[in-house]
Amino acid sequence: MNDETHQKRLLRAYHEIGNELISMSSLPKLLNKILQIAEDVFQFDNAIIRLLTEDGRELELAASYGYPSSAQQQKIQVGQGVMGVVAGNGKPLLINNIRECENYIEGIPGANSALCVPLIARDQVIGALNVESPRLNAFQDHDADALLTVATHAAIAIENARLYSRTTQLKQRYRHLHQFNERILQSTNLGIYTLDANLCITSWNNRMVKVSGMSEDHVLGRPLLTLFPVLAEEGFDRRLNLVLKTGRAEKVQLVHYNLKGERRVQKRRLSPLRDGDDTTGVVIVVEDVTEFKGLLDQMVQAEKLAEIGRLSSGIAHEINNPLAVIAYATQLLLREEDQPEFHIELLQRVDSEVERLQALTGGLLGFSRSGVIDKTQVNLNEIIDQVLTLIGYQIQREEHVVVKDFVDVPNILADGNQLKQVLINLIMNAVQAMENPGTLTLSTRVEDFSVQMIVSDTGAGVDESIREQIFDPFYTTKPEGEGTGLGLYLCRKIIQDHQGAITFQSQLGIGSRFIVQLPLTER
C-alpha cells in the first residue's frame, strides 16, 4: 500500500470515528465499529480493546476480534503485560520481538510483534488498544502514530458513550424514583399538595381531589387563594408567606366546608420546599381529624355528664333534706281538724309538689346511674292539666293564649312525675320561643299502638342547620347564663326510658312543635 492510499484511509478512519462520536450512543456497537475501522485501515488480523475498571486497577475486555477465548478471558492488572504497562504510563508501546518482553501475556498464537496505544479522554487513560502479528518487525513508528490518532478519537467517543449510558441510567433511575414517590403521594390517606413562591398549586394528590372535590387538572398552576378564597379570611395566606420568608415549618388547624357543605376539621402542616438553601415553595400536608375530634368531643361531653352526675348526687341530698322537713310538716298540718277547705287544698298541693321535687332530685341521679322509674296508670290529659295549673301564672304573665286540643286517650303505664318534668321543659321552651304574645297549643292523639302529646308554639322557629343538635347535651341557643343545654336532653332520655320517642318539627317564621309518642302497652 503506497503512502497516498494509506493517508486517504487514515483520513477516512478519522472522519468515520468523528461521525461515531456524534451519532453512536451504544458502547458495545461503538467499540465494534472502532475495531472494524481499524481493520479496514490498517489491515490488522486481530485487535483487542480493554477498558479500565472504575477503581482503575484492572483492565477488562471491551471488544476484540482475532483473539482466542483464552486470551480474552485473561485478567490484566495495570502494569502487567503490554496493555497493563501502556494503561499505567499512558504511552504507546511498539514491540518488534515479543520474546524479548519479560512480562508478555499470551495473546494470539505464535505472536512475534505487538503494538499497543493508550485510549486517552480528557487527559485520563481509560483503556488500551492492542494489535499483534506473527511476523517480526511487523509494525513501524508511523503505524504507532496513526493508531494513536485513531485511538484518541475512539477514546473520546467511548467516554461520551459511557457518559450517555450513565446519564440514561440516572434518568431512568430518577424516573423510577419519581414514579415511586408519585405512587406514595397518590396512595397515602393524607392530603398532600405543593405551592410555588407565588402560592400557585404545583402538585395535588388523590386525597386532595377527594377532600376538595377538585381534580388535579382543574387546580394545577392556579393560585390557591383564588380557588379557595375562604383560606385568606382565615389567615392561611399569612402562614404560607411566613414559611416562604423564614424557611420554618408551621402548623395550623382549620374548619373546612367541602362542596357538599359538610363541616370538616383539618390539621395542616406547612413545610418549606427547598432547592439547596433557597425556599422555593411550600409543601402542605392535610390531615382530616373530623372523626377523631368528634370522638374527643364525645369523651369530653361524657366526662361533663359524669361530673354532673357526681355533683347532682350531693345536690339531691341537700335538697331532699329540707323537702323531707316540708313534707313532714305538711302531713302534720293535714291531720289538723276544722281547717278551711282552701287551706286543705293548698296543703295537698304543697304535698304533691314536694313529692314531684323529690322525684326531680332523684332524676338528677340518672346522669351517673340508672334511675328507677315508678310507673303507674296515668292519663296524659290529666298530666297536661296538672302542669298547666303549676305554671299557668308564667304563661298568663306573658299574655300567651293556651289552646287545649284533647281527645279521649286511654291510660298508659308511665312515671307521672317524669312526664310532668318533660311537659314543663317543653312548655317553658315554647313560652320562651314566643317573644310576642302567641298561641301555645297542647294536643293529645291516639295512634294504633301509642298515644301522643304535642306541644306547639307560634314562635320564630329554628334554623334547619341546628335542628339535629337541639337534643345534644349542653347545646343551647339561649344567651349565656340562661340555659344549660340539658333540658331537651333530659326530655329525650326520660321518653326513651319509657320506650317512647320525641321528635321535633319547625318552620322559620311560623313556629315549632314537639311530638311525644308513648306506647299503649309495655314492650
Ranking 150-154, 217-221, 224-228, 316-320 by mean pLDDT, the lowest is: 316-320
Q: Do you know the residue count of the chain?
A: 523
Q: Could you read off the pLDDT of 378-393 as tens digits, one per residue?
A: 999 999 988 887 777 7
Given a contact cutoff of 8 angstroms between Cβ atoms, the answer to whether 347 and 329 are in contact is no
As a whole number, mean pLDDT of residues 495-516 equals 89
User: What average pLDDT is seen over the chain?
Assistant: 81
Give the integer Cα–Cα distance in Å for 376 and 373. Answer: 10
Question: Does domain 3-167 match CATH 2.40.220.10?
Answer: no
State the CATH class of domain 296-370. mainly alpha
Nearest to 192 by CA among 216, 174, 217, 222: 216
**Does residue 2 have a pLDDT over 60?**
no
As a whole number, mean pLDDT of residues 496-509 equals 88
User: Identical fold at 3-167 and 189-288?
Assistant: yes
* 62 compared with 265, residue with greater pLDDT: 62
User: How many alpha carbons fall within 13 Å on the CB side of residue 175?
Assistant: 6
Q: What's the grid cell of residue 485?
A: 343545654
3-state DSSP helix/strand/coil percent for the chain, to nearest 5?
Answer: 50, 25, 25
Nearest to 27 by CA among 171, 167, 168, 160: 160
Question: Does pTM top 0.85 for this prediction?
Answer: no
**pLDDT confidence bin for 158, thresholds 50/70/90:** confident
* pLDDT attached to residue 82: 93
* 29 compared with 500, residue with greater pLDDT: 500
Which CATH fold would you assign to the domain 189-288? Beta-Lactamase (3.30.450)
**Does residue 414 have a pLDDT over 80?**
yes
Given a contact cutoff of 8 angstroms between Cβ atoms, the answer to whether 154 and 117 are in contact is no
**Does residue 479 have a pLDDT over 60?**
no
* pLDDT attached to residue 490: 80
Q: Could you read off the pLDDT of 173-217 as tens digits, one per residue?
A: 888 877 777 777 676 778 889 999 999 999 888 888 887 778 889
Other C-beta atoms lying within 10 Å of the C-beta of residue 413: 15
Three-state secondary structure readout of 136-164: CCCCCHHHHHHHHHHHHHHHHHHHHHHHH
* pLDDT attached to residue 299: 62
Among 142-146, 188-192, 478-482, name the most confident range: 142-146
* 116 compared with 295, residue with greater pLDDT: 116
* pLDDT attached to residue 359: 65
**pLDDT confidence bin for 9, thresholds 50/70/90:** low
**DSSP codes of every residue in 224-287:** HHHH-THHHHTTHHHHHHHHHHH---EEEEEEEE-TT--EEEEEEEEEEEEETTEEEEEEEEEE
Q: Could you read off the pLDDT of 56-75 as tens digits, one per residue?
A: 999 999 999 999 998 998 88
Other C-beta atoms lying within 10 Å of the C-beta of residue 127: 26
Q: Which amino acid is at 316?
A: A
Q: Could you read off the pLDDT of 21-33 as tens digits, one per residue?
A: 556 667 888 888 8
**pLDDT confidence bin for 347, thresholds 50/70/90:** confident
* pLDDT attached to residue 473: 65
Which CATH fold would you assign to the domain 373-523? Heat Shock Protein 90 (3.30.565)
Q: How would you classify the pairing of strands 401-405 and 201-204?
A: unpaired
Taking the domains of the chain in order of start, what are their residue ranges? 3-167, 189-288, 296-370, 373-523
- Return all residues near 263 (Cβ < 8 A) that are at least 6 apart: 255, 256, 257, 290
Given a contact cutoff of 8 angstroms between Cβ atoms, the answer to whether 136 and 96 are in contact is yes
